[in-house]
């Protein structure tokens, strides 16, 4: 899709969080009402006919568009958070990322087998956090699971999409 307005408003932060990483800062998209509207409208068009009952947003940037989309779809919103942030019983999954190891959690009552789930995050790079979230969601045995990112990095050597089986429906709004 690569909407020109979104691309124009996306901020690149060199050497963050460590030297050599070119961080794609989506906060510039979220603070711009036109960009936020475009994001939610484009996501809605992708998923309006899929029967989504829950949107799972990955901490923290996945919360913004994920919650807005859930509202628009008439679905519930579930937070997938870093360790120690959720107050009730949780399940967790650890994963490797470009610059370390991390763990994410979801409440044990987040989803049911009757749910059709969309997992949303801001960026697909190496794919580790989304694969961990996908694995968590699959423990609930939902009817169907979709995966979405605002941005997919197409930089040689990252190829996070390769972590996922071909039958997993993955969409992105921008490829850069």
Supply the pTM of this predicted model.
0.95
- Helices 33-47 and 61-73 cross at an angle (nearest 10°) of 60
- CATH class in words for 50-175: alpha beta
Q: Is 61 annotated as catalytic?
A: yes
Give pLDDT tens digits for 30-74: 999 999 999 999 999 999 999 999 999 999 999 999 999 999 999
In whole angstroms, give the CA distance from residue 89 to residue 108: 6
Domain positions in the chain: 50-175
The one catalytic residue in 11, 37, 45, 98 is 98
Q: List the catalytic residue out of 42, 61, 81, 93.
A: 61
Question: 98 an active-site residue?
Answer: yes
Q: What is the pLDDT of residues 62-96, one digit of tens each?
A: 999 999 999 999 999 999 999 999 999 999 999 87
Measuring CA to CA, how many Å separate 76 from each of 14, 112, 116, 148, 150?
36, 12, 11, 16, 20
């Amino acid at each position: 899709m690569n909407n020109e307005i979104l691309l124009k408003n996306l901020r690149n932060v060199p050497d963050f969080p460590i030297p050599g990483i070119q961080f794609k800062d989506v906060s510039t998209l979220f603070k711009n009402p036109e960009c936020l509207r475009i994001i939610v409208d484009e996501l809605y068009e992708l998923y309006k006919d899929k029967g989504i009952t829950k949107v799972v947003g990955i901490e923290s940037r996945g919360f913004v568009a994920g919650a807005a989309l859930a509202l628009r779809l008439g679905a519930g919103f579930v937070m997938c958070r870093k360790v120690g942030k959720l107050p009730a019983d949780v399940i967790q999954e650890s994963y490797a990322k470009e610059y370390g190891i991390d763990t994410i959690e979801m409440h044990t009552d987040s989803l049911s087998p009757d749910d059709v789930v969309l997992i949303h995050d801001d960026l697909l790079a190496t794919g580790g956090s989304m694969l961990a979230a996908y694995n968590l969601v699959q423990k609930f045995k939902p009817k169907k699971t979709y995966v979405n990112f605002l941005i997919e990095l197409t930089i040689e050597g990252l190829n996070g999409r390769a972590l996922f089986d071909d039958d997993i429906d993955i969409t992105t709004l921008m490829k850069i």
